[in-house]
């Protein structure tokens, strides 16, 4: 079980968190259909570091972004979700 350092609550067990999706697969509602579908079905899915959207559902309930290695599970950064990255 991973340990995630919530920017609001501090280090907590993974079981308190829920994985949502990678940042590059967020589909905003004003996105053209082609781009929306590319985000859902043609993601980069790197074998390495990726940015992921998680929620501290059994804690502060805030959305956070993990920069996480998808093979080793190493977490190199955690930050509160910043909506500005979508615009």
Residue among 37 and 79 whose Cβ is closer to another protein: 37
9-38 mask for Zn ion (x: CB under 5 A)?
x-----------------------------
53 near Zn ion (CB under 5 A): no
Residue for token digits 């509602």? 29
Name the residue among 25, 28, 30, 8 with its Cα closest to residue 17: 8
* Residue 48 contact among Zn ion, another protein, none, beta carbon within 5 to 8 Å by kind: none
Supply the DSSP symbol for 62: -
Supply the DSSP symbol for 39: H
């Amino acid at each position: 079980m991973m340990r995630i350092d919530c920017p609001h609550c501090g280090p907590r067990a993974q079981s308190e968190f829920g994985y949502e999706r990678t940042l590059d697969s967020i589909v905003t509602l004003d996105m053209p259909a082609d781009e929306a579908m590319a985000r859902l079905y043609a993601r980069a899915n790197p074998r390495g570091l990726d940015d992921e959207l998680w929620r501290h559902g059994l804690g502060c309930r805030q959305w956070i972004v993990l920069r996480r290695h998808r093979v080793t599970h190493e977490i190199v950064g955690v930050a509160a979700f910043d909506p500005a990255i979508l615009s």
